[in-house]
């Protein structure tokens, strides 16, 4: 199925249905909530529209290349269907952290590769590599924690803030020139798009993504305990000289598991409420 066709048939893409889900999520009583503070002010220095347009362009190119190489999973692939079902339950929860997510054209794709990797680009462009699911033998709950972690990076706009910090004034002047018609917007989009794939998130970004993803998963009726077992598996996979590609852009630390264990009880009530509210 083409990406455009998938977008039209996706269970969260019809505007009315998606907003209904989002409204239901927003109406859920808050039993607990992780504390991540306000988003970085740096993100406001780079227009969200520019970052999201660049991400869409880069993502489309990547999916086209994967399809050409026979690595893009078809719509009837069981693992892709599994991921899209997980995303269907997580995406409505993401609006709590970013209202812009209401208008994103969400996509979820699976790429055949031995890499242990996954990402969610600005604007809701998700990709998961088969190596992550197969080599780590992830349960649905653990897979949901990965997808939730990646969605958290997107809704907290970590990439937007990192680009502002790394490019500094030069990037702002360049983007400003494009906005006022003083250059080629495509060149800027291509430059930013390339950076989106190589950005190394900070320790603070990772803490936020862990905690927001944890709560997002719990609200989607995925066991928060899976966040701990996920990172235990990730740690074992990184035992060799070359760890997972995922960890090259998502630096970990010895306190990660301790922080997750500390926060699991804070969202357990949300998980129990979500499970009680209906079948998974």
Can you tell me the distance from the alpha carbon of 147 to that of 164, in angstroms, rounded to the nearest whole number? Answer: 25
Can you tell me the distance from the alpha carbon of 168 to that of 182, in angstroms, rounded to the nearest whole number? Answer: 19
Over residues 195-208, the pLDDT tens digits come to: 555 566 778 888 89
Catalytic residue list:
150
Q: Which of 29-33, 77-81, 120-124, 153-157 has the highest mean pLDDT?
A: 77-81
Over residues 98-144, the pLDDT tens digits come to: 988 999 999 999 999 999 999 999 999 999 999 999 999 999 999 99
Q: Which of 10-19, 97-106, 139-148, 219-228 has the lowest mean pLDDT?
A: 10-19
For the chain, domain boundaries: 3-8+41-276
- 65's enclosing H/E stretch is helix 48-68
| pTM for this model (two decimals) | 0.76
- Mean of pLDDT over the chain: 77
CB atoms within 10 A of CB 140: 15
Contacts of 20 (CB under 8 A, 6+ apart): none
Q: What is the number of alpha carbons within 13 Å of residue 178 lying toward its C-beta?
A: 21
Closest CA to 106 of 194, 16, 12, 195: 12
Q: Are strands 107-111 and 118-121 parallel, antiparallel or unpaired?
A: unpaired
Can you tell me the distance from the alpha carbon of 100 to that of 160, in angstroms, rounded to the nearest whole number? Answer: 13
Taking each helix axis as running N to C, give the angle between helix 225-237 and helix 203-219, from 0 to 180 degrees, rounded to the nearest 10: 140
């Amino acid at each position: 199925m083409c990406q455009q066709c998938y977008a039209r048939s996706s269970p969260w893409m019809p505007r009315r249905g998606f907003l209904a889900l989002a409204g239901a999520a927003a109406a859920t009583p808050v039993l607990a909530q992780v504390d991540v503070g306000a988003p970085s002010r740096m993100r406001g220095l780079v227009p969200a529209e520019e970052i999201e347009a660049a991400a869409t362009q880069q993502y489309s190119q990547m999916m086209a290349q994967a399809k050409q190489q026979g690595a893009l999973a078809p719509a009837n692939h069981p693992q892709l269907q599994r991921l899209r079902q997980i995303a269907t339950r997580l995406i409505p929860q993401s609006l709590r952290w970013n209202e812009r997510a209401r208008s994103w054209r969400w996509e979820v794709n699976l790429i055949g590769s031995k890499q242990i990797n996954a990402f969610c680009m600005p604007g809701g462009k998700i990709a998961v590599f088969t190596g992550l699911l197969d080599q780590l033998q992830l349960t649905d709950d653990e897979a949901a924690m990965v997808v939730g972690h990646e969605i958290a990076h997107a809704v907290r706009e970590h990439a937007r803030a990192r680009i502002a910090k790394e490019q500094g004034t030069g990037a702002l002047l360049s983007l400003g020139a494009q906005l006022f018609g003083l250059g080629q917007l495509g060149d800027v989009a291509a430059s930013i798009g390339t950076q989106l794939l190589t950005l190394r998130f900070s320790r603070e970004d990772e803490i936020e993504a862990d905690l927001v993803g944890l709560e997002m998963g719990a609200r989607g009726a995925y066991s928060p305990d899976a966040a701990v077992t996920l990172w235990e598996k990730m740690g074992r996979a990184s035992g060799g000289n070359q760890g997972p590609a995922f960890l090259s852009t998502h630096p970990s630390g010895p306190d990660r598991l301790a922080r997750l264990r500390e926060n699991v009880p804070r969202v357990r009530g949300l998980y129990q409420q979500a499970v009680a509210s209906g079948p998974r």
